[in-house]
Amino acid sequence: MISVIFGGMPVLLLAASLYWAFRRRPGQRPAGTLCLSSLLGCFAVAFSAYQPTIRAVEDALALDFSRLVSNSATLSAAASVSAVLIYLNHDPADARRRVHQRLRLLALAVVTMAIAFVLTPRTMVWSSVEIRGGLNAVPTSLHVYSAAYIAYLGYAVYDCLTQTWTRSRAATRTSQRLGLRITALGCLFALVYAAYKTVNTAGALFGWNVIPGGPRCTGMFTPVSCAFSVTAPAVSVLLITIGLTLPAVLWPVTQLLRRRWERKTADDLLPLWRDLTEVSPSVVLKTIGGSAESDLLLHRRVVEVCDGILDLDAYRSRAIERLAAEAVARRGQSGTETGAAIVEAAIVAAAIEAARAAARPHDDPAPQATGESARAGDLRAEALWLRSVSQQYATNDIVRTAVAAQRQTALETA
């Protein structure tokens, strides 16, 4: 499992980083895009430093350079997470100022760690100490290293949590809220890792190995220190990566589903739209440009159907309304949305038939369907209602009966 995690994750993270950096976009690149690419790239470096082959070479040479690389990349990734969230929460100018402050702190921490690492004798690095089975012999330089690492990591994780909370409260998209909550969960795992490093480092100052471990992790929970030193940061990286990329991944999917729904709804409105525009061609809006987008097509069709129904207001028969309502009641559909759609479809179908026959308008026409004010300004709600009416208009036998009754009335009054 360890080999799979630290062998496959760098490839996936690097691919995601390159995608965000070089993805073609219409217009200007959104603010914070490079920060997200940097985040994924830093995570890739942090994971690659722990690949079994690299660790085997370092074990043979008694070096810990991969730990310096991994820790530096981890701090850079934490700074990148904060930067991404800062760009989401603040305007670009203010975000750049805040990010530059955090980058200066990051540079100070990494430089301190690098100097402390260089000053540590090879025989006193972590791997040598771990092989001897304790942390009480760690030199002062490595305590300085750990202090710089933990201080910035704790600051960055806390910063990520506050930025995530701020953004999640203001997010309007469901995918964005979900992604931010997953990111917050990843930050909690990062806090567990930071707490582990703090406790073990503080204990080492007094010669106490608080959470003892072995020379190397053999599993995600063996020895017990691996649950905090390996599994917690690995899960944190995974959750933060998923949380920050999920909205971007889901957005094209939701857009595809939205466009599909819009096209399907526009097609469902076609039977009613075709007959309404035949008797009231003036309701058809002027076409601007070439082929319409799905949202524009649906919007136009909803407006034209609504205008067509209003244009036939004088032909709305109260007799047809009573006939359809009685038939709906016999079927036990009174008071339901389907029943209301059947009644409205019957009235509109009879009105279309009356307009075709140039019948005499009614002095007391049937009122418009209820609920219009509640749907005002809500395109989706209006489209759903009209789609239901159109479906009943095209298929329901009560509607066909209403049309036949209208024809009979027209013959009797002719």
Helices 2-22 and 232-279 pack at an angle, to 10 degrees, of: 50
Domain chopping of the chain, boundaries = 2-255, 280-413
- Region label for 79, one of left (φ > 0), alpha (ψ between -120 and 50) or beta (otherwise): alpha
Q: Are 191 and 239 in contact (CB under 8 A)?
A: no
Model pTM score: 0.61
User: In terms of DSSP H, where are the helices of 280-336?
Assistant: 294-311, 318-330
Paired tokens of 223:
């020895």
Burial of 96 (C-beta count, 10 Å sphere; 0-12/13-18/19+): middle
List the chain pLDDT tens, one digit each, 414 residues. 555 555 566 667 777 667 666 666 655 555 556 666 776 777 677 666 655 555 555 554 445 677 787 788 888 888 887 887 788 778 888 888 988 898 899 999 999 988 988 887 766 665 555 544 455 556 778 778 888 988 898 888 888 888 887 778 777 778 888 888 888 888 888 888 888 878 877 766 666 665 655 556 666 666 667 777 778 888 887 888 788 778 777 877 888 888 999 999 999 999 999 999 999 999 888 765 555 688 888 989 999 999 999 999 999 999 999 999 999 999 998 889 999 999 999 999 999 998 888 888 888 888 888 766 556 667 888 899 999 999 999 999 999 998 888 888 777 665
Q: Which of 78, 77, 19 is nearest to 43 (CA)?
A: 77
Instruction: Please state, in angstroms and rounded to a whole number, the distance separating the CA atoms of residues 216 and 130.
Output: 9
Rounded alpha-carbon distances, angstroms, from residue 404 to 38, 51, 401, 408, 410: 70, 79, 5, 6, 10
Q: Considering the domain delimited by 2-255, tell me its CATH architecture.
A: Up-down Bundle (1.20)
Please tell me what DSSP assigns to residue 386. H
Paired tokens of 412:
């009797």
Instruction: Please state, in angstroms and rounded to a whole number, the distance separating the CA atoms of residues 109 and 103.
Output: 10
State the DSSP H helix or E strand holding residue 27, giving kind and residue range, or none if neither.
none
Rounded alpha-carbon distances, angstroms, from residue 42 to 14, 16, 35, 47, 76: 9, 11, 10, 9, 6
